Amino acid sequence: MPKICYEHKKFSPEKLELLARANMVIMNYQQQGFTLTLRQLYYQFIANNLFPQSWANTAGVTNSVQSYNRLGNLISDGRMAGLIDWEAIVDRGRTSYANTHWARPSQILEATVKQYAIDRWANQPYYLEVWVEKEALEDVLGRACQPMDVRFFACKGYTSQSAMWEASQRLVDKLDQGKKVVIIHLGDHDPSGVDMSRDIEERLSLFCRQPVPVNRIALNWAQIQQFNPPPNPAKTTDSRYQAYEDKYGTDSWELDALDPAVLVNLIRKEILRYRSETLWEAQLAIEERGRTTLDCVVKYFPDVVEYLRQRRKMSDEPVVCQQCGAKAGQRCLCGVGNQGRQLS
């Protein structure tokens, strides 16, 4: 993993200890196959009490905007000094895009074999999608959903009307096929985050013109009690604050604070509730037969190319009557070449 020094920096013993703790968290995530956002790293510091008391605010609390900003600056300095892996912390909101290129034609065939997949849910009675409130958790959703062939979607807060309508058109198509549609939702436990599950269900049901159940699997009150994520003050300026306070109190909790492995397991467990293993195995067998066919295409691709080249070479050679020497475009007079017809 790349730890590249671009600037030589001096760190106090306290900051060196914090960088060491950050690397411990990073290593734990990497061993599970995850990358981190800065916010996820911050919540691991809070959840595991990794901040020194010297970082506490005037109220004696380390969970603050000030601590988040200080950690961000420290991680930035640590990366520049070659003490933090550059690939360990990602910014999921800023992604570049480029066209795919191939060095030779056979490469695209080889890639096709790896990418080939059928709809493994085509014969299932249910159609599922997993939605999450935050874009920063797309990587976690991908880890859970992609192997299980389930579509996932980052809402980025309250879902826009356009995105909601587009989703409803996908769901209507599945409903018309006789599928039972379920949306699995994950969001923060705060006034708006809790309300988003209701909003998704109401608007999807409106656009689909029939009930679309939304199953919120995180973050729920029972999980807060079980995993004890660090609390934040709920936003009193949120229009939904009073109803939230009446039910849950003045604290709120962020989904990012849960360990990614916990979220992945929650999602997988929920998906398996709806999946028929017999039907799933049948689709896997069909997919494997298709992949075997593509493997044969790749294996014999050079032979096919050579054969086609030889055929083209033969077709490019001029047609000549062996008896009278008439060429293409001339009439064969001897009748041997084509019974007196013009050669083509």
Residues 47 and 173 reside in one and the same domain: no
What are the angstrom distances between the C-alpha of 164 and each of 134, 208, 318? 16, 10, 63
**Residue span of the structural domain in which 37 resides:** 13-80
Helix H or strand E segment including 38: helix 38-47
Out of 80, 115, 135, pick the residue that ends a domain: 80
| Residues contacting 203, CB < 8 A, separation 6+ | 159, 161, 164, 168
Residue 315: its pLDDT value, please? Answer: 67
Report if residue 324 sits inside a domain: no
Given the structure tokens 């080889």, which residue do they identify? 110
The identity of residue 259, as a single letter, is: D
Question: Are residues 321 and 344 in contact, defined by beta-carbon separation less than 8 angstroms?
Answer: no
The full DSSP string for 180-198 is EEEEEEE--BSHHHHHHHH
Out of 227, 245, 275, pick the residue that ends a domain: 275
- Residue 95: Cβ within 10 Å count: 7
pLDDT tens digits, one per residue of 123-180: 999 999 999 999 889 889 999 999 999 999 999 999 999 999 999 999 999 999 999 9
pTM: predicted TM-score of the whole model, two decimal places: 0.81
Report if residue 85 sits inside a domain: no
- Residue 207: Cβ within 10 Å count: 18
Residues 24 and 144 reside in one and the same domain: no
Report if residue 109 sits inside a domain: no
Residues 144 and 267 reside in one and the same domain: yes
C-alpha span between 307 and 246 (Å, rounded): 77
Residues 269 and 154 reside in one and the same domain: yes
Given the structure tokens 């905007």, which residue do they identify? 65
pLDDT tens digits, one per residue of 107-123: 888 888 888 999 999 99
C-alpha span between 264 and 132 (Å, rounded): 12
Residues 132 and 69 reside in one and the same domain: no
Helices and strands: H and E segment counts in the chain: 12, 6
Given the structure tokens 């890639």, which residue do they identify? 111
**By C-alpha distance, which of 74, 31, 32 is closest to 50?**
74
Cα distance between the two ends of the chain: 65
Report if residue 19 sits inside a domain: yes
Greatest Cα pair distance, the chain, in angstroms, is 110
pLDDT tens for the chain, residues 1 to 344: 689 999 999 999 999 999 999 999 999 888 888 888 898 899 889 888 899 989 988 778 888 889 999 999 999 999 999 999 999 988 877 778 888 888 888 888 888 888 899 999 999 999 999 999 998 898 899 999 999 999 999 999 999 999 999 999 999 999 999 999 999 999 999 999 999 999 999 999 999 999 999 999 999 999 999 999 989 899 999 999 999 999 999 999 999 889 889 999 999 999 999 999 999 999 999 999 999 999 888 888 888 888 888 877 766 666 666 667 666 666 666 655 444 444 44
Report if residue 306 sits inside a domain: no
The full DSSP string for 80-143 is HBT-S-TTTB--TT---------SSHHHHHHHHHHH----TTTTSSEEEEEEES-GGGHHHHHH
Q: Write the CATH number for 141.
A: 3.40.1360.10
Out of 255, 275, 295, pick the residue that ends a domain: 275
Residues 44 and 182 reside in one and the same domain: no
Report if residue 300 sits inside a domain: no
Residues 135 and 245 reside in one and the same domain: yes
Residue 144: its pLDDT value, please? Answer: 96
Residues 24 and 143 reside in one and the same domain: no
Q: What is the sign of the dihedral through the CA atoms of 212, 218, 221 and 223?
A: positive
What are the angstrom distances between the C-alpha of 12 and each of 15, 49, 55, 81, 83? 5, 20, 14, 13, 14
Report if residue 319 sits inside a domain: no
Q: Which two tokens stand for residue 268?
A: 């997988």
C-alpha span between 196 and 186 (Å, rounded): 9
Domain count across the chain:
2
Residues 165 and 55 reside in one and the same domain: no
Residues 32 and 146 reside in one and the same domain: no
Question: Are residues 112 and 118 in contact, defined by beta-carbon separation less than 8 angstroms?
Answer: no
Chain Cα centroid distance, residue 258: 18
Report if residue 287 sits inside a domain: no
Residues 153 and 236 reside in one and the same domain: yes
